[in-house]
Amino acid sequence: MLGYDDKRNFFRMMVNSPCQLQITDDESSRTMQAMCRDISATGMSLEVDEPSIEVGTQVSVAIESSSSQIPSLAALATVVRCEPESETSCIIGVEISQMK
């Protein structure tokens, strides 16, 4: 549970759900699998199998729901932080700009 020290505007929900990430940058557009670690009303934390993704990169995130009671999620977002997790993966924080 988040405490007062977190000082966020919205609570984060831990999800640990596989998702599809489409990265659109100056060089190309590519799609990869990622793991959504948590989500809030305005952003997400994603673990990706890339050593790093540049801050400011535009991404599309799609999370398929396994329940008929919970809709799938599709969003456009911007990378606002990138922290190395290992030599081949990183955790990115994205700010949601538009829900599809």
Q: How far apart are CA 59 and CA 80, in angstroms?
A: 11
pLDDT at 15: 84
In DSSP terms, 90 is beta-bridged to: 48, 84
- pLDDT-derived band of residue 65, with 50, 70 and 90 as boundaries? confident
Domain holding 22: CATH number? 2.40.10.220
pLDDT at 9: 60
Q: Does residue 6 lie within any of the structural domains?
A: no
> What residues make up the domain containing 25?
11-97
Q: Does residue 92 lie within any of the structural domains?
A: yes
Q: Does residue 4 lie within any of the structural domains?
A: no
Q: Does residue 82 lie within any of the structural domains?
A: yes
Q: Does residue 3 lie within any of the structural domains?
A: no
Q: Does residue 62 lie within any of the structural domains?
A: yes
Q: What is the CA radius of gyration of the chain?
A: 13
Please say if the pLDDT value at position 12 is more than 80: no
Q: How far apart are CA 94 and CA 69, in angstroms?
A: 26
The gap from C-alpha 44 to its chain's centroid, in whole angstroms, comes to: 4
Q: What pTM value is reported for the model?
A: 0.83
Residue with tokens 């799938």: 72
Task: Report the number of distinct structural domains present in the chain.
Answer: 1
Average pLDDT over every residue of 8-35: 83
Average pLDDT over every residue of 3-12: 58
Q: Does residue 2 lie within any of the structural domains?
A: no
CA terminus-to-terminus distance, the chain: 29
Mean per-residue pLDDT over the chain, rounded: 87
Q: Does residue 1 lie within any of the structural domains?
A: no
Please say if the pLDDT value at position 49 is more than 60: yes
Average pLDDT over every residue of 68-96: 94
